[in-house]
Amino acid sequence: MNKIYCIYGASGHSKVIVEILEKSGCIIKGLYDDDPKKRLLFDYSVSNQASMLMLQNVNWIIGIGDNAIRKKIADQNTLHFGTAIDKSSNISKRAQIGKGSVVMPGVSINSSVIIGEHTIINTNSSIDHDCFIDDYTHISPNATLCGGVRVGKGTHIGAGAVIIPGIRIGNWSNIGAGTVIIKDVPDFVTVVGNPGRLIK
């Protein structure tokens, strides 16, 4: 396994990724950000030179929390993407995690879960058996997905949200913090409250 990494982006999200990689004994070669004002993150240099994106034999992680921006960067670059999985997470040997995805501290991912590409599974969230999480999603801290939940591409599940078993959530939707989802959610909507109600 190649343990040499670069991170695309130098924001707060990148800080957590840096620490996940450090704990795993990975070598962080540097960070790239197109903002020339960003020069340093912790003790790591930040470059805005496009030539850095041509580095060979490194794994890249996109350290940006916005789902749409993460997708745009992944679509526009032919980088080799790795994964960043915190050592404190509890992941079933029968779970699958796609390239570019990040699993934060304290996460539980149970049997037969499929996690797509460039997905964020954030701190202390719980993904139960047979869930499917599509690409470019963000499962926020302390969110709970019960068994057999399907989450569409680009969707954001807010902090502390609860999704009951068997629910289907559409693409590019937003589930508010603390929301309890008890029925299926369509594409491109925002749902908040307990029980969840569609607001736009």
Question: Annotated catalytic sites, by residue?
Answer: 129
The count of other CB atoms within 10 Å of the CB of residue 75 is: 9
Q: In the numeric block, which tokens belong to residue 112?
A: 């037969």
Report how far apart, in Å, the C-alpha atoms of 170 and of each of 53, 157, 177 are: 33, 11, 17
Nearest Cα neighbor of 188 from 142, 136, 140, 153 is: 153
CB 185 within 8 A of CB 191: yes
Interatomic CA distance for residues 28 and 30, integer angstroms: 6
Interatomic CA distance for residues 4 and 26, integer angstroms: 6
Cis peptide before 195 (omega within 30 of 0): yes
CB 133 within 8 A of CB 148: no
Nearest Cα neighbor of 31 from 13, 56, 5 is: 5
Q: In the numeric block, which tokens belong to residue 129?
A: 């058996």
